[in-house]
Structure 1
């Protein structure tokens, strides 16, 4: 049994490359893949509201925002002013009249929570797949 590593320089270079970790572009690419999966699962769950006066629908206002550290946030665009509508549709609301008298409670659709539950493993798999491709490039396997 040999007690030396053949191609030690190459092996050390691979270890050094792996120790550098993933850069912002690699993290961003992986997180984009996860966000795309999340959005793909969520869009069909968002309730459709047929209001012809709306300029943009809640589904169209769903965006992903990139951050400096390579992370991605998914939410509704500020420009569309749909965040509060998404929150009401998701969580529900209490109906009050103009005199502030409470009448009933409208149940929320809880599309955000159901998307989180459904997407949990799928988002992780998409991120891992992209990180695996990045790692393969780092170590010369791809």
Structure 2
């Protein structure tokens, strides 16, 4: 079994302008190589390596962006979970502190509770709109660090 690698021989002709031929010869002199195929090999290797470096850089930037977005979403999820936990605790406290309503007043109490609930929702919506128009939801106001390096 022959373990030597066979090299393929491909021949082609380069048609170069005068300026291109001069640059090609200059590169051959700088590399201190004898054949034009060595110059061609160097140029192809250099160009493909540069492309590979750019591709690696691009994918690393995409990965970093994905990590940053993931961390931001984790921060938002944490705040949402805290909000839900606080709301749950408040509702449990409020329900436990309410007195029992006599049966004859139950209908009036439900009606009054519904009106209060609607007013609370309207007040919350107005407050949300007011904050949205101000800078209350800007990252700096929310305590979110804008520096990407601070997230790592």
Q: State the TM-score bracket (shorter-chain normalisation).
A: 0.3 to 0.5
Q: Which of the pair has more CA radius of gyration?
A: 2
**Higher helix proportion:** 2
Highest RCO, 1 vs 2 (Cα 8 Å, sep ≥ 6): 1
* TM-score under structure 2 length normalisation: 0.33
**Higher strand proportion:** 1
* TM-score under structure 1 length normalisation: 0.34
